[in-house]
Chain A
């Protein structure tokens, strides 16, 4: 189980994850950010399962989530989620 925090311009993103090889098998996101609509966070978690923990794959998955849901996260960008996840993945290896 890996855990890490990353401070985005608005909000600390907290990531807890489990890896199977270099692929995410379980992920839980929490923190004091804002997301509209709120229930989209669960969808982001579902989107990230089975994604490889390299920067390119993660960024593609998170951007796809933003595009498909139209979700809004003031002062938190796709890159910030990726940075938080990479830190957690690094800690779990």
Chain B
């Protein structure tokens, strides 16, 4: 990968596209990852961090829950402990997600509120449009499913969650490459309300993965490049590879203990 200009979508336009930062893939524990996202959001709101796209993996594998969820209602904590899976509460709403280190890629987009539509669903549609184009680059026909999902063949392959603070937006979400779906449903307590509504007897039928749809194995790099190009295309920006700044890392280090605390995890 070229170190300076990673993605440059050629298009007919009068002005050169706006530059956003693309961070290299990181592998962190859940608490650090959540802290980095919050640090980027806060500093972007203060004008101290550029608009950014990043990708990361969770080590160890983690269940993240939405900020309004009750951990005890959503997660089988005994199973999590048994398999060494961390559990963390996000600052974004939405549902519980199993982030499998071996089979799931997570992305974050942080930008100024003015750079996406004010309407919440429209802003999801724009950012998730990057994923849709990314899946298309991988050879899949994907579509945005309101409010916050991307589907392939009618099944969820990606879910996202967004928050807005002080004039900036953080949207992060999952790309299911080849996660352990059996373990996923062992860890998550799926609401009977949710299943019955869809008239589906098995939860397995609601979710799919890149590997299952493409019928071949592929690496994280291949998915990441496709998604980066997809984001650049959908957002109409040029992604330029950069690094986290010292200020961002320092703020993340300050925020990390909150995410690791029992108080935060058991807030609801």
Which A residues are closer than 8 A to B by beta carbons? 5-7, 10-12, 14, 28-38, 41, 72, 74-75
- B222 interface residue (CB < 8 Å to A): no
Number of A-B contacts (CB under 8 A): 66
Cα separation A9 to B161 with both chains bound (whole Å): 16
Cβ contacts under 8 Å, A34 to chain B: 92-94, 120, 147-148, 161-162
How near does chain A come to B134, taking the closest CB pair, in angstroms? 23
How near does chain B come to A42, taking the closest CB pair, in angstroms? 10
Cβ contacts under 8 Å, B93 to chain A: 11, 32-35, 38
- B8 interface residue (CB < 8 Å to A): no
Tell me what chain B mostly uses at the interface: helix, strand, loop, or mixed. loop
Q: Do the beta carbons of B194 and A30 come within 8 Å of each other?
A: no
Cα separation A37 to B163 with both chains bound (whole Å): 8
Cα separation A11 to B92 with both chains bound (whole Å): 14
Cα separation A41 to B68 with both chains bound (whole Å): 8
Q: Do the beta carbons of B120 and A12 come within 8 Å of each other?
A: no
Cα separation A14 to B74 with both chains bound (whole Å): 11
* Residue of chain A at shortest CB distance from B70: A30
Select which of B66, B146, B162, B193 is within 8 A of A5 by beta carbon.
Answer: B193
Which B residues are closer than 8 A to A by beta carbons? 66-70, 73, 91-96, 120-121, 146-148, 161-165, 191, 193-194, 197, 268
Cβ contacts under 8 Å, B165 to chain A: 37
Select which of B67, B73, B96, B120 is within 8 A of A14 by beta carbon.
Answer: B73
Cβ contacts under 8 Å, B148 to chain A: 34
Cα separation A12 to B193 with both chains bound (whole Å): 8
- Known pairs A32-B68, A34-B94, A34-B161 / 4 extra A-B pairs, C-beta < 8 Å: A5-B191, A10-B146, A12-B194, A31-B68
How near does chain B come to A27, taking the closest CB pair, in angstroms? 12
Cα separation A37 to B162 with both chains bound (whole Å): 11
Q: Do the beta carbons of A33 and B68 come within 8 Å of each other?
A: yes
Select which of A30, A36, A41 is within 8 A of B164 by beta carbon.
Answer: A36
Given contacts A28-B268, A30-B268, A32-B68, contact A74 B163 (CB under 8 A): no
Cβ contacts under 8 Å, B194 to chain A: 7, 12
Given contacts A31-B68, A35-B93, contact A10 B73 (CB under 8 A): no
Q: Do the beta carbons of A74 and B121 come within 8 Å of each other?
A: yes
Q: Do the beta carbons of A32 and B66 come within 8 Å of each other?
A: yes
Cβ contacts under 8 Å, B91 to chain A: 38
Cα separation A29 to B67 with both chains bound (whole Å): 12
Given contacts A32-B94, A34-B161, contact A74 B120 (CB under 8 A): yes
Cβ contacts under 8 Å, B268 to chain A: 28, 30
How near does chain B come to A12, taking the closest CB pair, in angstroms? 5
How near does chain A come to B258, taking the closest CB pair, in angstroms? 14
How near does chain B come to A81, taking the closest CB pair, in angstroms? 12
Cα separation A37 to B197 with both chains bound (whole Å): 28
Q: Do the beta carbons of B197 and A30 come within 8 Å of each other?
A: no
Cα separation A14 to B96 with both chains bound (whole Å): 14
